[in-house]
Amino acid sequence: MVELNGMLGIAMDSVVGVHGVDQVWEETGYTGSGTTVAIIDTGIDGDHEGLNDLDDDNSTNDTKVIAFYDAINAPEQTNGTEIFPYDDQGHGSHCAGITAGTGAPDYDFIGVAPQARLVGVKVLDSGGSGSFDTVMGGMQWTIDHRYEFNIRAASMSLGGFGLIEWNSAEEDSVNRMANEMMRSGIALFIAAGNAAITAQVGTPGSAEDVITVGALDKDTSIAIYSSQGPTEEGRIKPNIAFVGSNVMSVDFNTKTGYTSKSGTSMATPGAAGLGALMLQANPDLSPFDLRNIMQETSTYRQCHYMAGNEPCPEDLIPKNRQNNVYGHGHVNSLPSVIEAASQSYQLNTNYSLNLTSALEDDNLVHLSSGDSITLSISEPMDTIQWRSNHLRDDWAIIHDYDHETTTVTLSHSDIIDQLEHLPGISLEGNQTLSIRGIKDDQASPNLVVYIMIMGTEKEVEPLGDEGLSGLAMLSIGLVTGLAVALAGLGAMAVITRDGSNIFHVDEEKTFDAVLIADSDM
């Protein structure tokens, strides 16, 4: 099948909003730490003070943009570290600041998840356009490198109608790739568009699985420009609505400047930033979990809410929960994060864990063979659990923890034992861990610890008697008994034989024994 190579462009009015995000910061302490969001756009200005590092301290080396792929000008350079992050249009940098900007130097315009890390994927040129092929190349690169850079969410503030859209959006190649990103473990947030009328949500926001975002004005009514569903297949879109009008964020190539933009382009990275907060609260969440929680905790708005739009037939349906103007409604950050955090245990913010290990200049805990991470906890817990933030990892128990104490250690060897079975990562280098305390049916907020593994050789524990298995102890007993018996026979030979004895009293008798230990299970 031949598909038309249409063009995709920026919905050039862009995004973010305040939806109780400050309450999340204050009540849970979550700021997006431990998560990585890909900005698939025009690039990211890696020199801007709000985007160049995590702690805004020039004496440390903790880069915020940890990888950059340029599908426009250098598609052959694919490892993500060959090109310094840049933006020759400005749209992507503005979006990046909404998602995860620190707000430096004045901290007036802080992003939704200021401690999240970013990956820049440049698929739009200096004019704000890119072909279907180029956009899909960037999306595929993001999927291919999701394990390496721990990419758990992505923001795409781009879209446009290819001619094939008029037949079937699901046949469109970009839509299929967008659905594939969701299934691969990356929560994909896509702008609804700025067409301002009904049935104008195009590729790739019309894809079935993705989280399509409409734009609100700051009074929470729908923005006049926000595109509305349904899609060509009659699917209700958008999924959610986030503030996108008059959003202040990073102004590219200014080092310290900020500027205002409006559009669903700006709403989308704000919602992606909330996704990063939710993933910090619960790294187990799938992209579909994120979407469902955001939808179910949103405040539903009828189409004609605050006279921002004309009434629609859905307004007459009792207890309706979705329409083609607001989707499921106005996103609420704190309920979304609390629901995310409480999927397995109830979140108890009175419990806390604190890192006591020293940080190096890169703000990482460096671990070599024999080293450990050390923590303090606010009160004794029943268990302490940890996991890497790798997509395929799961929680493990720190078995050495004494539940009557308030100190915790996690060894280099235990970390290697867990990580070496995960796909797509190199053990040496940067890793991100989440650690929590469990007491009854409640859990502390997750503590995120960034580490640098400085070698993969595990420490060999010396074996004492108490460390030997039952089989090993039995083997030693048998060998010892045999030695004693043979020694006795030797003594008897000396006594009973004249001149022809085999053993002599002055001979040194030795026996070689092999210790057979249990194999690792």
pLDDT tens profile 411-453? 999 999 999 988 888 889 889 999 999 999 999 999 999 999 9
Residue showing tokens 């990562």: 425
* Six-digit token string for 180: 């594939």
Its pTM stands at 0.85
Say what the pLDDT of residue 481 is. 53
* pLDDT at position 18 over 50: yes
Q: What are the tens digits of pLDDT across the range 453-476?
A: 998 888 766 555 444 444 444 444
* CB atoms inside a 10 Å sphere around CB 266: 33
Rounded to whole angstroms, the Cα distance separating 476 from 466 reads: 13
Report the pLDDT value the prediction gives residue 61, as an integer from 0 to 100: 81
pLDDT digits (tens, 9 = 90+) for 351-366: 999 999 999 988 899 9
User: Average pLDDT for residues 163-173, to the nearest whole number?
Assistant: 54
> How high does pLDDT run on average in the chain?
85
- Dig out the tokens for 397 from the structure: 């128990």
Q: In this predicted model, what pLDDT tens digit does every residue of 289-300 receive, in sequence order? A: 999 999 999 999
Average pLDDT over residues 4-11: 53
Tens digits of residue pLDDT in 264-289: 999 999 999 999 999 999 999 999 99
369 Cβ contact partners less than 8 Å away, ≥ 6 residues apart: 412, 413, 455, 457, 458, 459
pLDDT of residue 199: 80
Per the model's pLDDT, the better-predicted residue between 376 and 59 turns out to be: 376
Give the pLDDT confidence score for residue 14 in this predicted structure.
Answer: 37
165: pLDDT strictly greater than 80 = no
Name the least confident of 82-86, 146-150, 168-172, 476-480: 476-480
Least confident of 231-245, 307-321, 452-466: 452-466
Reported as a pLDDT band with limits 50, 70 and 90, residue 196 is confident
C-alpha span between 84 and 130 (Å, rounded): 20
Euclidean distance between CA atoms 120 and 275, whole angstroms: 17
115-126 pLDDT per residue, tens: 999 999 999 999
Task: Answer yes or no: is pLDDT of 190 > 80.
Answer: yes
Decide if 341 contacts 282 (C-beta within 8 A). Answer: yes
* DSSP labels, 369-398: TT-EEEEEESS--SEEEEEES-TT---EE-
Distance CA 268, CA 13 (A): 11
Residue 315 pLDDT > 70, yes or no?
A: yes
pLDDT band (50, 70, 90) for residue 10: low
pLDDT of 320 > 60? The answer is: yes
- Range 120-134 average pLDDT: 93
pLDDT at 506 over 70: no
- Distance of alpha carbon 230 from alpha carbon 303, whole angstroms: 13
**pLDDT band at 176; cut points 50, 70, 90:** very high
Provide the pLDDT for residue 200. 83
Report residue 286: phi and psi, to 5°.
Answer: -85, 165
Look at residue 355 in the predicted model and tell me its pLDDT.
97
For the segment 179-195, the average pLDDT, to the nearest whole number, is: 95
Q: Which residues belong to the active site?
A: 41, 91, 265
Q: Are 398 and 418 in contact (CB under 8 A)?
A: no
Q: Report pLDDT for 411.
A: 96
Mean pLDDT of 394-420: 94
Q: Residue 456: helix, strand or coil by DSSP?
A: coil
> What pLDDT does 491 receive?
39
Separation CA 150–CA 422 (nearest Å): 12
pLDDT of residue 7: 60
User: Judging by beta carbons within 10 Å of its beta carbon (0-12, 13-18, 19+), is residue 234 exposed, middle or buried?
Assistant: exposed
User: What was the pLDDT predicted at 19?
Assistant: 86
Query: What number is the average pLDDT over the span 41-50?
Result: 97
- At 57 the pLDDT is 84
- At residue 9, the pLDDT reads 55
Confidence class for position 167, pLDDT limits 50, 70, 90: low
Strand stretches in 149-210, DSSP E: 151-156, 158-159, 187-191
Instruction: Quote the pLDDT of residue 231.
Output: 87
pLDDT-based confidence at residue 161 (cuts at 50, 70, 90): low
User: Residue 506 is encoded by which pair of tokens?
Assistant: 């002055």
Query: pLDDT-based confidence at 500, cuts 50/70/90?
Result: very low
Buried b (16+ CB within 10 A) or exposed e, 274-302: bbbbbbbbbbebebebbbbbbbebbebbb
pLDDT more than 90, % of the chain: 67
Give CA–CA dist 264/213, Å, rounded: 7
